[in-house]
Amino acid sequence: MMRTVLAGLLATGLLMVSPPAPPTAHAADLCADFGGAVEPDGLCRTKVTTPNYELSMSFPVDFPDQAAVDDFLTQTRTGFLNGTGTTNFAGVPYAMDLTASVWASDTTRSVSFEVYQNMGGAHPDTWYKAFNYDTVRNRPIAFADLFGPGVDPLTAIYPIVTQKLSTDMGVPAPIIDSDGMDPSHYQNFAITPVDVVFFFGRGELMAGAAGAHTVYVPRNAIPPLAV
């Protein structure tokens, strides 16, 4: 009987159904939950300092795929805090600095996060996470979506990455060809009108001693993008 009444009310428009909260509102709530504030540039910034850890974060609140961004932020923050329950044997606070950069082209939006973590090991770690969105097709963009069918983009991308890293480091970049041609190392990227920007965390494409790197690959030097 109740189902019949509800169905009738919906059919006649008499039952008011609250629309879901927009992604921006949810992200702003997340910002407040993290103890931050949304600043004029549209980024939430938060900084928490305790005797045992220091945590700084910045992130957008209006990304088209905001739910995926929020999930990443929540999981990363929770994982860090779960590791700070005991005193750092090095005698210094644990630290995480998660910094957002936003990017855009005529048909895409991107946000990248550089994450610096010091959990008391021999070396701090720096890694990246990026999200990309096709604003024309209204869908997320993965590396596999960047180029048309049958295209082998790494044949063009890998030599450019090697050359730029070698220039930055002042020595030949110590990249094994099988790693340089492995798409799994190119999953974190951002799209601009003139470049595809690739982010390589410490120990991802080269040995950890080589550090973390950002490489700008000109779009006019690689196959045309399909987004």
Residue 26 confidence (pLDDT): 66
3-state SS of 89-133 is: CCCCCEEEEEEEEEEECCCEEEEEEEEEEECCCCCCEEEEEEEEE
What's the mean pLDDT in 172-193?
97
**pLDDT tens sequence across 40-99:** 999 999 999 999 999 999 999 999 999 999 999 999 999 999 999 888 777 789 999 999
Give the mean model confidence (pLDDT) for residues 16-34: 68
CA torsion, ordered 131, 137, 139, 140, to nearest 10 deg: -30
**148 φ, ψ to 5°?**
-70, 170
For helices 66-82 and 23-33, give the axis angle rounded to 10 degrees.
20
Q: What whole-number distance in Å separates Cα of residue 90 and Cα of residue 76? A: 22
Q: What is the pLDDT of residue 88?
A: 78
**Model-level pTM?**
0.87
Q: Average pLDDT, stretch 156-168?
A: 97
Rounded mean pLDDT, 9-16 = 45
For residue 24, the model assigns a pLDDT of 62
Identity of residue 137: R
Q: Residues 202-227, buried b or exposed e (16+ Cβ, 10 A)?
A: bbbbbeeebebbbbebebeebeebeb
Residues 70/32/80/114 CA torsion (nearest 10 deg): 60
pLDDT tens digit sequence for 83-129: 998 887 777 899 999 999 999 999 999 999 999 999 987 779 999 99
